[in-house]
Structure 1
């Protein structure tokens, strides 16, 4: 957990997200997640399904692993293709975990989570999540917690198949790289001035998540645990050996 979140109270912090200046509604949302137990099994709809219920678009997201315990896993997709009936029955009986593909993870791993992907985050993980800024989650299973489930909605949008590993990247810590590009957003891992991989086209929103070193956004120094927001890439300065995740809109 970044030092900025350690207030010395001993209180657990599970999720941190960032607001924006008054009058500004970012297209993207950045979060920190710190898990001490399994999070719910869920899925997000794509644009077509979201518009059916009155939203402007669906929700795609991605995860960059900051820290992970030796047994840390993420649930991404299913082990095998299954029928809607089998998935629904497994969820009702509390057996859905047996169908999910639990993948071991380590610091520096990256996973893009397309809309429709059944997913869950296991315990002992710290990660940065970048997502489309829309509040829509269909919860399939929640380990007996007293929260609403959305099983029928989830089944209408979920891909009942394995996760495609083309969306994953392992150990991205030692070089600048494109983690994901194309619609609806791009995310880059950038080290210092080694930023030739970044596309500066058509984006009016940049979010900067410091990892280490000197990171300056619009003339202000920010550090791990914070998030910078600006309209131009030229407002970002990592020349002091900074390392950061940089997200931009592409639509």
Structure 2
């Protein structure tokens, strides 16, 4: 079992709700075998897309990026497009500042899970704090940045982006020992574990555990959010207290 110290990261869109000072948009909780973060946006993140493994390995020489959000605070996100669009329209609207008119905005609520596969155009809205789990890559192509003077990556983004409306899949939790599996993807699984007294967990695969709410005791140490630790395959941990934990395990794919 290995504790994972938090790494605050300042972002141009960062808020102040993560407890690490103003402007801290992300707190990296674990970097391997998965990248696990908390995000707190004060403003819209860029409209972006991540490349799949095949494209990223060929063009960038490293793996692509697949991720999911567990919503902690309500608001709006961008999830694909409202209607089919062409690459030419996307380029024109990105340069004119009107891309937002064809983006699909959706409300999200606390406890909701949003899977963001490679190729999905997406953005996180103001105030929508999330727990994010992703494959350990930070490859991001920006399509639109709400007037901020940062580089766009239109050619690469359009090479991988899905340009038609995509439905947001409903998540169907499955019971597992100690909690429930919220999401299963080819690249990782996401778990939720309520803590009400004593919780014994065993890891069949590496398991990144994050205390999101409450307080817990582990091997005599008091844990408070966002305490994060890694159980290797075959390891066990017993926690006592009251709160909520999320767990993420990598998979082949």
The CA distance in 2 between the partners of 1:199 and 1:163, in whole Å, is 36
| Count, aligned residues | 232
Contact 1:112 1:167 in 2 (8 A): no
2:52 to 42, 46, 51: 46
Question: How far apart, in 2, do the equivalents of 1:214 and 1:236 lie?
Answer: 15
The residue that corresponds to 2:3 in the other structure is none
- Following the alignment from structure 1 to structure 2, what is the Cα–Cα distance between the partners of residues 98 and 51? 33
Q: CA RMSD in A?
A: 2.9
Matched residue, 1:207: 208
What is the TM-score with the length of structure 1 in the denominator? 0.81
Unaligned runs of 5+ in 2: 1-15
Give the CA deviation at 1:239. Answer: 4.7
1:233, distance to aligned residue in structure 2 (A): 6.3
> How far off its partner does 1:133 sit?
1.0
- Structure whose residues are more often strand by fraction: 2
Matched, 1:188 2:194: no
1:210–1:225 CA contact under 8 A, matched in 2: yes
Given candidates 110, 113, 125, the residue that maps to 1:110 is: 113
CA contact (8 A) 2:215 2:225 kept: no
Secondary structure of the corresponding residue to residue 166 of structure 1:
coil
Would you say the 8 A contact 2:210–2:228 is kept in 1?
yes
**Counterpart position of 1:6:** 19
C-alpha distance after superposition, 1:82-139 (max 9, x if no partner): 2211222211211111111110112111101000000011101211111111121001
Counterpart CA distance in 2 for 1:83 and 1:167 is 27
- Flag the 1:226–1:82 CA change in 2: closer, same or farther, 3 A: same
Deviations 1:170-202 (A, max 9, x none): 9xxxx9432211321111111138999x9954x
Match of 2:225 in 1: 224
Q: CA deviation at 1:226?
A: 2.7
